[in-house]
Each structure stands twice: as structure tokens, then as C-alpha cells.
Structure 1
Amino acid sequence: MTCSLAGAQEVALLSEKDFLTDMPIVLSVSRLPQRLDETPGTVTVMDREMIQLSGARDIVDLLRLVPGFQVSTSFESSAPVVSYHGGFNIFSGRIELLIDGRSAYSPYFVGNIGPGLQSLALADIERIEVLRGSNSAAYGARAILGVINIVTRHSADTLGAMGSARAGQNGIRDLQARLGWGNDSTTHRLTADRRSDDGLHGAHNQNSISRLNYRSDINLSGGDALQMHVGGYVIDSGKGNPGDKNDPGGDVNDPPRDGLFRSEFVQVDWRRNLGQNEDLLFRASHTQERYSDDFAYSLIPLGIKDSINIGFGGRSRAESLMVQHSLRHSEDLRWVWGGEFRSERITSRALFNRDDALKTDFSRLFGNLEWGLSEAVLLNAGAMLEHSSVMGNTLAPRLMLNWQVSPGHTLRAGVSRAYRPPSNFEQFGDVRYYWRGKLLAVNTLATGQVDSERLTAREISYLGEFPQWSASLDVRVFNERMDDFVVQAADKRPWYYANQEGFNIQGLEYQLKWQPWSGAQLLLNQAYTRIAPTVEFSTTDLAAPRLATSLALFQRLPGEVDVSLMYYRQGISRFIGAGWHRQPKMDRADLRVAKRLRWGAQRGELALVVQNLGGPYPDY
């Protein structure tokens, strides 16, 4: 249960017109700004009104409202986990995360977007675009199963001061302060916030996140624009098994402890206006990370009255340079193309048994063509040629045809191919334990022979608007064939990674938006997913629940009162990496009641949020 009070400029509710008739413009599918009915893929868009009405505390909670997504709330793996079409490990490594165009994918360990999803305060977000399906044709190997694109608010829209506070059960304590200033040509925003809680019941999960983010927007002569982002965050998360009344000591080999993840970044974008129908975008970014998780491991089970220090710490850094050219050739033809060079370095004696950095360079050429074959038919063709200094060249193409059957009703059909090279740990991991200078055990020893995963995705989708019923419907039918899937082999010790499994992910997902009566907004999502492995005994068959449902009702009442009710239901699944145990079905209901306040020119809100109205459910 939480209670918050904020003073800021008013955020309007989703109006009937905004909700249904204004087709959103998205940027994250083809790199071209496109209406939802023009994109080469199915996109879920959550704007800042929906973000506020949801009562969510972080981005991961919001992604429960996206069909096909599985999320956790545990910080055991450094940050809560997000997955699409399968929780294949305790990290989120097969989805790309973009924040204002910058990749926030952490290359550390096996790759993870979890920490990046914790790097922003929700109040600074303008919208979140989630492409449900592979998008390596536009963003490379890490987008093999999808892309989450977060667009922050323009600094000109957040002038003045804002503060918020939240307090609740389970140790919830959240504070935020924001200041915006500037003039007609230059505006700035500085946001500092901290959120903390006691985590999951039965786990050592006292968690806190401290963040500082700065954004500036500068209008240059000739229509050019310069944008700068600087920020950093620290995740201090509880880990390990604290035990219970029957075992007060907990697990001596997984003791309660704190893990620390720290990251800083800087990003500069320069958009050069070359005319009404043409522009250039230059982007440079730098990100650095440090991670620590150390504990004493008892050797008593081996007959030795001593312990050794186990650690998973290390650091990483990434630099990226990108140039992108967009051109509208005619009313029916436009394209975007460009290139990117990205360099990543990871240093960790604990994970690689070496002191020097592992370096991986990526060189990328990309392009997407949008061609109106007729008034009703639109062709999107795109591809990315990607070179990895470790794995060599791959080509990820995509072809999608959009047919507007009638005004407001669009069918899409398409196919794409994507690749994901193994992470540095999957390819080069070398974890050894020493006692008094002597080698005691080798936990992980990679073979260096892991090939890239391959995905062939086919989909048919439908996007329809029904103004007579104040409703819209988005349906996606898909078949995703994964080959050379990388798994942690369990046939012998030490552990290693290998290409062992192939499988098909088949299913249907839909999203219904409806205004059943005045002042109400209803959102219904469902995903039917079936994973069919190619081997008889597989760990992937229940990596995604067969059926998952989310339902949200937003209602405006007289007296400037808003009520939101969210319900989530997820079938049985097996989150691989969480012990490979079956996770029982989950039901969760959340409630938010808010009263908007006014003091002259000042605006505020008092809100009561109750998460998980029902009984407890297991998390991972």
C-alpha cells in the first residue's frame, strides 16, 4: 500500500479522442516515424497518462500490460527480469532496450536489460514503445525477440519544480525532486530520486535505487537540434537465503548479502536538418558499469573447516558512434539508412580468470525502405549487416506487407531472420575457486565453440479501429523458429554453454482498447503461447505460460477523482535459471485511487495504491 503527494504541472487524462482517434506515431520499429498501421510489426504504446494511472513504481511493473511479457520483481539477479515469449534464464538478454535511442543493454555476464529498466524515474517518461517481435533488422542481434524503446519527456515540457513522496508497507520509501529551467532556445531538466523497499517475503531483498538524470535540448540555427543526456544510478540489492524460523541461519553457501550495481552514461545527439524531407542524425554515447557481489563460501561439506571468498564482480564499458540519414523521395517512397560502430569491454577475474579486458567490436550497416505500392498497400523492407569481432558477419533481413483493407482496418504479413551471438560469458567464461593458492574447483569452463542463435519469425497481424463502439483491436499470430539455442549444458562438470536445442514458439496475442461508458477506459490483453521443442526432454516447453491475461480499467469520477483497477493472471510456467522449477499460476490485482489538487497555479495529486489485493504468489 502506498500513498504519494506531488506538486507539478497537470497531466491530462487520456481523452476519448486521444485514446481512439489519434493514431500514435512510433519511432522504434523501422527507424522512420510511422503510424501504427504503417509499421512493419506489432507495437504496444504506453503514454505518460497510462503510466501515471497504472500506479506502477517502475517500468518492469508497466510491462505486465504488454501481451506476451513475463516479469519478476526480484533483485536476485541484480534487477527484476523481463522476458518476451519465454523466461529462458534469470537475465533479460534477448530483448534490446533503447532509452532515447541509446542502447541500455548491459553486456556484463550473459547480457541483461534489467538494470537499464531501473535507470529512469517514471515521471520523466513521455511514452514507452514495445515492439512485440524480432527487430534485428533495425537494431542488431540483441533485438532478436523484441525492442523496448523509452522516450523521455522534452525538457521544455518539464519547466519549474516538482517533488513527490511515497510511503507504504513493506518498507516502501520513494522520494523524487525535479527542476526544469531554460529559455526559448535552450532548456534543461535535472531529476534526482530514490526508491527503496524490503523486497520479497522470505528473501533477503532490502533494495534501493538511487538515480540522477540530466537532459538538455538546444535549438540551433537552420532547424538543427542538439540533445544531451547525462546520468547515473546505483542499485543496492539484497541477495541470498536468509533462512526462516526453522532454519534461522539460512543457506551457509548462499548467505544474506548485498549486491551493488553502478552505472553512468553520457549521450549526445545532433540532428542536422537538410531540408523539409531530409535529415541527418549523429549520436555518440558512453556507458560504464561496475558490479560487486561477494560472500564467504563454507568448505565444511568438503571436510575443511574454512571458507573461500566467492565473487561475481567486475566492470564493463561501451562506446557507440552512429550516423543515420532519412529521406522522403516522394509521397510514396522514403527510406532510412546508416551505420554504427560499438565497442564493448568487460573486465572480471571472477568470471573469466584473467585480468585484461575482453573486447568485442560491432560494426553495423542498416537500412529500411517504405514504399507505397498503392493507396492500400505499403511495403517495408529492411536489413542489418552486422560484423562482430568475435563471431564474424550476419545479415538480418525483414520483409513486411501492410494492406489497408478498408479505412481503419489493416492487415500485416511478414517474415524476418535474426541472429544472437553468444555473450562473452557463454563463449569465454572461466570460473575457478582457489583455497590457499591451490585450485579447489572449476565451476564453469566455456568451450569457445558456441555458435550464434538463429531465429526465423513469421507473423500475420491485424489492427482495427471501431469508432462506432469506441474500441480498437490489435491481434498478432506468430511462428518463431529458434535454432542453435544456447543453453547451460548439464551433462558434466564444469558447466559450459552449448548449442543444444531448437524449438518453435507459436501463438496468438491481442490487445483490446474500449471505452464502454463515459470517463472509462478498458484495456484487455491476452497471449496464448506454445513452445514446441525439437527434443523429447526439454527445459523450454514451459518457458512461457500457455495463457496470460492482463486487464486494466481506468475511470474518471466527479470531483477530479480517478480510479484504476488492474488484474493479472498467468498460467503455469518454468522460469529457466530459477531452479528450473515450475512456477504455479499467478493472480494479482492492483488498485489506485487518486484525487487531483489545485492551489492557484500549482497542481498536485494525492494517491492511494494497493498492489496485490489478493493472497501472496511466488516470484523469482
Structure 2
Amino acid sequence: MPSLLSRRSLLTALAGLACTHSLFAASAPAEYGEETPFFEDLPTVLSASRLPQVLNEAPGAVTLLDRHFIKATGYRDIARLLRLVPGMQIGQERGHAQWVTYHGLGSDFPTEIQVLVDGRSVYAPSAFGGVDWSSLPLTIDEIERIEVVRGTNSNAFGANAFLGVINIITQHSHQQRGGSGHVNVGNHGISDLRASWNGGADNTGVRLSAAQTQDKGFSRLNDARVSQTLSLRSDHRLNARDELTLRAGYNRLERGMGYPDSIYNNNGERTARAETNTLHLTWRRTYSHDEEWLLSLYRNHESNAESWVASSPSFPAVPLNRNRSSNRTNLEIQHRFALAPQARLVWGLEGRRDDSEAPFLFAGGRPPSVSMYRAFSNLDWHLTPTWQLNLGGLLEKNGDVAAQFIPRTFINWQASPTDTFRAGYAKAWQQRNVFDIHGDVRAHTANSDPRTSVPVAWPYVPNPDLRTPSVDTVEVGYLGRFRAMDATLDLRLFNERVTNFVIRRNIPPAFAPLVLSALPSSQFINLDSAVTLRGLEYQFRGKPRAGTEILFNHTLIERRTDEPEVAKRTAPYVASLSWLQDYGTGWTSTTSILRMGSLAGGYGYVPGCDYTSRAYTSLDLRIARAFQLDGRRAEIALNGINLGERHQEIADRSQQCLPGYLNKPVNPASSMVWLSLGIAL
């Protein structure tokens, strides 16, 4: 296969950036290390190093989705916003099932990128891991911004930040007062209600948010969902230095799963129920702009009920389930301060305990509890007015794995007030998923004793010798500002080399022959060879004229691996174009076009099926009109997603390999259109 990105093309790109730098540097003042009003327009981000940094000073590429942009899209799901971030590869196996990765590679439940809400990890420690995007105890109206660190960030947030971080930051409860209501009604049974209220006293702010999201999902699938969310945030100012923040959330979700004609009904139609709740308490002491202590304690709980019955001519009833529950308790302390006028440091300690229970998924037993301890530190040092060094390190002990040191080194060069170059190296380890190691699924007939009888199928066999994957990342980047169009260009060239990558493979059954031979035994194993992703991604964001904003993202990835099946989990290219237009007199529109290369996500219930979804183009559109209703702000909008060609995004590969679906997609995405009305109360 020809290389998508040869060394020559990379050098050409860098040469082009150098020319751009020269043009701007020629007209820049001599003291271009000093801040300028134009330069100050760059936003401050928190997630790259745990230090507040202007975007050009961050150690790596960071994409920011602010409140204005989130509202302008009109999206009903948080994960859909991430399609408009460079490097993100996202698909839906059905309406409520979001497959979210950075640079692909993910399994059925991707765990390569850390997801945080106000610094709290929302990873589900039970069974499969990953993030259930449909059951987050959070409403989309609460979000102030989303920061996406594109690239390894484990030195700041630990092993799950293997390829990056998504940090969802909610609004402070003091930011506004009053209430709001929102209604969506559309095809495919769309019927949503959202409401929020902000109030409190001078030193105490309270925000209460509630939402119900309901639809029937993709056509011709068991895909209906009803999600109910209740969320609370309260910020209390104790004195001039101290503030307490309480966050609490609850979500209840019912959704359709499975297919009516899977092998032996091993992925049969059923209704899955999930409940998620969280309690998060934060104490913040601020001495000055340069010094702050932060103490954070949270507890997450999730429970899932999902059961059905498999059958065959030999055994009419084989009960199956994926019932599971988990608790995560996490305590963290962090201190940031100025070492000198040119240097800032943040350090911290964190401890966590995960407890899970899923009897069927672990052969009637219980997986071991996992305790994690970490110490981290990041240094931001301005060596000169134009050269900046970022050094980070994290020491982590996770379960029975030996303690691991995770380093990162970045250097940023502010070549002019409008041009910044950066380069860095980072290493990271990925936290092993408890199901990958201890998962032990044995199917028995309804009347048999699972302790003594031979299983009719043994689809998952544990592998206690599974090694920890690691990644070495080298990257070069550029961030430029262009005054004429009020524009920014953020470019990242990367080389990510993953060793001990985990895949699922068929193995000889422990009992042969198994009665349900079409469901082979499998095990998670490490690849002996490395997986390397090398490529280029960039984002151009500009305002060519008043009222117009353009956002263009483009990613090219060359995949190098001895396993063709692994290479197909990463799309070779992704591109998106978003156009936001304010026409005046209250009329606005947002148009987003996405082009996704061919992609095979996950592995399905039955391993060994080789299927890749074809490249596709999708179109999302929103037209809105703001007006006054009885003296209150209101907005009505017509929204549509998947309006382009009929396409498939992610397939359940074992289902797609059935003879009846060899020439057609089993789960094409459906166009959804809805009318929304929002009112400030």
C-alpha cells in the first residue's frame, strides 16, 4: 500500500510553515515575546498540563469547543460534537451507541482516551470499561466548554489518557440567574424535554438541570431509548480564599439492543436498563493568580441489567446476560504555584479504588478490586521571552502492575506574536481493562449446574498474563494567527508507536467439541509486533467576514502493522467543514459536512468476521430564529443530522458477516429531523 504521508510530504509541510513564519516575522516588532492585544484573544486551557495556559503555551495540540459553538450545532448528544475535532474518529452502531476514539484503534468499548467531567473520570470500571455516552449524568445545556487534548496526556491524567483527553467543563453556578426550558419534537419518535434553573444567594450559587431524551433510533433496528437525567451544581464562597463546589448527577436509561437473527440468538433483541449516579465534592483555596490548592473527592456508581436467552436445535434455552455494577471512589489533592516569575509548577497525589460485580461475565465469580495510586508534576518554564519548556512526569501504580513512570517533554517557540512552533515526546501506558484479563463467559443450559456441567459455549476465556500496552509519541506542531481573517491554524504532525496492543483472537476450546461450535472460544492477547500511526491533522478556524465563521478539519493517517484487521480500525482520512452564519435580525444557520474514510470498529460478539464500513459523507444542518416571546428570549430551530447519502458508520461485525447481509449494511444510519423551541424563563 503506498504511503499516505512520505517523509518528503512531511518536510514540504514543515517548509510551508517556515515560509509562513518568515512572512509574519518580517512585519513583527522586535520584542515579539511580549503579549499583544491580538495575541491575548487566544483562549486559556486547563487540560494539557493541569496549569492554566494560553493556547499557544500548551504542551501539545488542544481543541476547544465553546458554549457558543455547542449551542450553534443544536446536537442532542455530546459525543456528536466530537466529530468536529481533528483526529477524532466516531461512529454509531445504532442511534444510542456512540463509538468514540482518537485515531481509531478502539475495541467495542474504546478505552484509549480519558474522558473527564470537571476533572472527574467517567470511565466505567465494571466489565468492559469505556464510556457510555448515552448514560452520562449530565445535560448538554450545562456545558461551558469541551477541551480535547489531541495526543498522549498520561503524564497529567494517568493511564487512560493513552492517546488524549476529553475534558467536559460545566458552567459555574454563579454565571447566570434564572431558568430555561427546551423542547425537541421530530421524526423517529424524537421527543425531548430539558429544563434548568439557576439561583442562590450572594455567596452561594445553585443550578438544577433536568432532561428527558427519547427517540426510536435507526430504522429497522431495536433501537428505542428513553434517558432521564437530573444534575445539580452548587458553588459556595466560604471567604475570600476558599470555595466549595458540589456536583451531583443521576441518569436512568432504557434502550433497545441486539438483532433478531444473530447466531443462536447470541446477540438477541432485548431491552437494557442502566442507572448511573455520581457525587463530587471539591474544595479550592486560591492565594493568588499564581497559587492554588485543590482537593477533590468523588464517587461514581453504575448498574446495568441486560439479559436474554440464546437457543439452538439441541438446546432450546441458554440464558445469557451482561448484568454488572461498579463503584469508583477517587481522592485527589493538587497544588500549583509560581517557582519564579518565569516558572510555574503543579504537583499532586491521587488514589482510587474500583469495585465491580458481574457474575455471568466472570464465571460466577467477582473480579478483583483494583486500587490505583499516582503522583504527578508538571513544570512550565519560560526559558526566554520566546522559548518555553514544559516538563511532566507521573508515577502510577495500578493494581498488580508494577509502578510505571510516564514522562513528557515539550518545547514551544514563539517565533512571532502570531506564530508558535512546538515539538515534544511523550510515553504512556494504557490501563488494562478488567474484562480483558479476567473475563470468563461460559454459557450453560437453563437447567444445568454451571459449577459442574460442561458449558455449551465458552466465548470468552481469561488471560491473566495480558501485558500492558504502551505508546511512544513524537510530534511537531504549529499554531498561527492570521489577522486578515481573524483566523487560527493548528497543525499537528505525529508518530504514535503502540506496543503490546490488545486484540481478541479465537483459541482452541477448553472442552472440545463445544455444542454451539459456531460460537468459538476467544481470548484477549497482545500483538507481538508494534502498531504505528503516522500522519498529519490540522484545523483552520476563521471569520472571513462579519457574521460568518468557518471551521475546517482534516486528518491523514498512515497505518503500519503486521495485522490487517488492526489497520482497518483506523480510517486513513477524515475531513469536516462547518459553516456558522449569522444573517442578522435573529436568523442563524449551522452546516456541517463530514467525510469519513473506511473504518472497521470493534470486533463484535463472534470474533473472526472481517468487515469494514465504506467511506461515507454525512450532512448536518440547523436553521434558527431568535425572537422575544412575552418579553423573554426565545429561539425556534429546525435541525437535521445524517441528511446526506444513506451510510453505515460502525457495524457489529459478527452480525454483518451473516449470509443475509453480505451485500448490504445491517445498520445504516437514519436521517433525523426535529423542531426545537427554547425559552429563557
TM-score, with structure 1 as normaliser? 0.92
- How much does 1:291 deviate? 1.1
Judged with a 3 Å threshold, the aligned counterparts in structure 2 of structure 1 residues 101 and 526 are, in CA distance, closer, same or farther, namely same
Match of 1:124 among 128, 131, 142: 142
Corresponding residue for 1:101?
A: 119
Please tell me the residue identity of whatever aligns with 2:594: Y
- The percent identity for this pair of structures is 32
Judged with a 3 Å threshold, the aligned counterparts in structure 2 of structure 1 residues 135 and 331 are, in CA distance, closer, same or farther, namely same
Structure 2 CA distance for aligned equivalents of residues 356 and 508 of structure 1 = 44
Corresponding residue for 1:525?
A: 553
Counterparts in 2 of 1:148-227, with a 5 A limit? 148-227=166-245
Please tell me the residue identity of whatever aligns with 2:454: L
Alpha-carbon displacement from aligned partner over 1:271-296 (angstroms, at most 9, x marks no partner): 01234532210000000110121101
Structure 1 CA distance for aligned equivalents of residues 336 and 134 of structure 2 = 28
Corresponding residue for 1:403?
A: 413
- In 1, are the aligned partners of 2:138 and 2:249 still within 8 Å (CA)? no
**Secondary structure in 1 matching 2:628:** strand
**Secondary structure in 1 matching 2:564:** coil
Please tell me the residue identity of whatever aligns with 1:562: T
Counterparts in 2 of 1:31-430, with a 5 A limit? 31-74=50-93, 79-115=97-133, 118-242=136-260, 252-300=265-313, 303-304=314-315, 306-356=316-366, 358-430=368-440
Q: Does 2:525 correspond to 1:498?
A: yes
- How much does 1:201 deviate? 2.2
Q: Does 2:467 correspond to 1:451?
A: yes
- How much does 1:250 deviate? 9.9
- How much does 1:580 deviate? 4.1
Structure 2 CA distance for aligned equivalents of residues 531 and 202 of structure 1 = 35
Task: In structure 2, list runs of 5 or more residues that go unmatched.
Answer: 1-35, 510-520, 651-681
Please tell me the residue identity of whatever aligns with 1:400: F
- In 2, are the aligned partners of 1:106 and 1:115 still within 8 Å (CA)? no
Deviating 4+ runs (over 4 angstroms): 17-21
Please tell me the residue identity of whatever aligns with 2:626: R
- How much does 1:149 deviate? 0.2
Structure 1 CA distance for aligned equivalents of residues 143 and 590 of structure 2 = 20
Structure 2 CA distance for aligned equivalents of residues 277 and 254 of structure 1 = 55
Segment drifting more, 465-474 vs 115-124:
115-124
Judged with a 3 Å threshold, the aligned counterparts in structure 2 of structure 1 residues 112 and 474 are, in CA distance, closer, same or farther, namely same
Corresponding residue for 2:633?
A: 603
Structure 1 CA distance for aligned equivalents of residues 537 and 100 of structure 2 = 17
TM-score, with structure 2 as normaliser? 0.84
Structure 2 CA distance for aligned equivalents of residues 19 and 168 of structure 1 = 43
Judged with a 3 Å threshold, the aligned counterparts in structure 2 of structure 1 residues 22 and 251 are, in CA distance, closer, same or farther, namely farther
- In 1, are the aligned partners of 2:79 and 2:133 still within 8 Å (CA)? no
- How much does 1:242 deviate? 3.7
Please tell me the residue identity of whatever aligns with 1:551: L
Structure 1 CA distance for aligned equivalents of residues 267 and 644 of structure 2 = 31
Please tell me the residue identity of whatever aligns with 2:114: E
Segment drifting more, 272-281 vs 411-420:
272-281
How many residues were matched structurally?
Answer: 593
**Secondary structure in 1 matching 2:275:** strand
- In 1, are the aligned partners of 2:174 and 2:206 still within 8 Å (CA)? yes
Match of 2:477 among 443, 461, 467: 461
- How much does 1:123 deviate? 0.9
Structure 2 CA distance for aligned equivalents of residues 571 and 19 of structure 1 = 37
Alpha-carbon displacement from aligned partner over 1:217-254 (angstroms, at most 9, x marks no partner): 001113211100011112212111146xxxxx997443
Please tell me the residue identity of whatever aligns with 1:492: P
Corresponding residue for 2:13?
A: none
Structure 2 CA distance for aligned equivalents of residues 611 and 448 of structure 1 = 44
- How much does 1:134 deviate? 0.7
Structure 2 CA distance for aligned equivalents of residues 18 and 147 of structure 1 = 30
Please tell me the residue identity of whatever aligns with 1:222: A
- In 2, are the aligned partners of 1:95 and 1:145 still within 8 Å (CA)? yes
Please tell me the residue identity of whatever aligns with 1:329: L
Task: In structure 1, list runs of 5 or more residues that go unmatched.
Answer: 1-16, 244-248
- How much does 1:55 deviate? 1.8
- In 1, are the aligned partners of 2:428 and 2:472 still within 8 Å (CA)? yes
Please tell me the residue identity of whatever aligns with 1:508: L
Structure 1 CA distance for aligned equivalents of residues 633 and 132 of structure 2 = 33
Structure 1 CA distance for aligned equivalents of residues 182 and 38 of structure 2 = 27
Question: Alignment RMSD, CA only?
Answer: 2.0
Corresponding residue for 2:454?
A: 439
Structure 2 CA distance for aligned equivalents of residues 79 and 571 of structure 1 = 20
Structure 2 CA distance for aligned equivalents of residues 273 and 123 of structure 1 = 28
- How much does 1:157 deviate? 2.1
Structure 2 CA distance for aligned equivalents of residues 516 and 20 of structure 1 = 18
Alpha-carbon displacement from aligned partner over 1:589-616 (angstroms, at most 9, x marks no partner): 1111101112465211101112122231
Alpha-carbon displacement from aligned partner over 1:532-570 (angstroms, at most 9, x marks no partner): 00x2x4311121111111100000012110011110011
Structure 2 CA distance for aligned equivalents of residues 544 and 406 of structure 1 = 36
Alpha-carbon displacement from aligned partner over 1:382-413 (angstroms, at most 9, x marks no partner): 01100012212111100000000111100000
Structure 1 CA distance for aligned equivalents of residues 573 and 230 of structure 2 = 39
- In 1, are the aligned partners of 2:126 and 2:355 still within 8 Å (CA)? no
Structure 1 CA distance for aligned equivalents of residues 39 and 187 of structure 2 = 37
Corresponding residue for 2:499?
A: 483
